[in-house]
């Protein structure tokens, strides 16, 4: 799927394929800030590679690609027994604020609906106001405000 960011630059959202691995690993090698929230992405390269491979094996992965580079990664972890999916999203630092996260979130909501699931949930740093604003824009609400001082769970019922 082709999208346009707020700068008017084209980017593509595509399903991950094995030939994308080097570009995805490169995005995380240069990711800022590393390990700030729930230790993701991991600080050390070996741990980061293991973490990336775990996401690729256990979730459905889409990439945002721009100018030949991976600039965003979303992961959906469906739980068909519960009827929901966990959502993880990462956008490279230089590409934040340009609408890539919004495009990925819009796509994941439709994807989860197509899977027949009834909700999407995520955890977000309690002080990550930019991300919280993004999620609220799409209708996510806090599901348990007293979960923890450092993180909040948000949910979107479909």
Give the CATH number for residue 13.
3.40.630.30
- Provide the domain count of the chain: 1
Structural domain of residue 57, as residue ranges? 2-157
Question: Quick one: what percent of the chain has pLDDT higher than 90?
Answer: 71
- pTM of the full predicted structure? 0.88
Residue 73 phi/psi, 5-degree rounding, is -145, 130
Q: What average pLDDT score do residues 97-108 get?
A: 94
Nearest to 104, CA basis, from 133, 48, 61, 144: 61
Rounded distance between C-alpha atoms, residue 24 and residue 70, angstroms = 6
């Amino acid at each position: 799927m082709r999208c346009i960011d707020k700068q008017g630059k084209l980017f593509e959202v595509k399903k991950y394929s094995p030939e994308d691995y080097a570009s995805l690993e490169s995005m995380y090698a240069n990711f800022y800030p590393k390990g700030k929230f729930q230790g993701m992405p991991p600080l050390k390269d070996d741990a980061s590679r293991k973490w990336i491979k775990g996401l690729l094996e256990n979730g459905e992965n889409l990439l945002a690609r721009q100018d030949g580079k991976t600039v965003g990664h979303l992961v959906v972890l469906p739980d068909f027994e519960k009827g929901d999916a966990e959502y993880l999203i990462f956008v490279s630092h230089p590409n934040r604020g340009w609408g890539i996260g919004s495009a990925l979130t819009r796509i994941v909501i439709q994807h989860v609906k197509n899977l027949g699931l009834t909700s999407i949930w995520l955890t977000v740093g309690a002080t990550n106001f930019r991300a919280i604003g993004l999620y609220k824009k799409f209708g996510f609400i806090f599901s348990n405000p007293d979960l923890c001082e450092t993180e909040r769970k948000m949910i979107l019922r479909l």
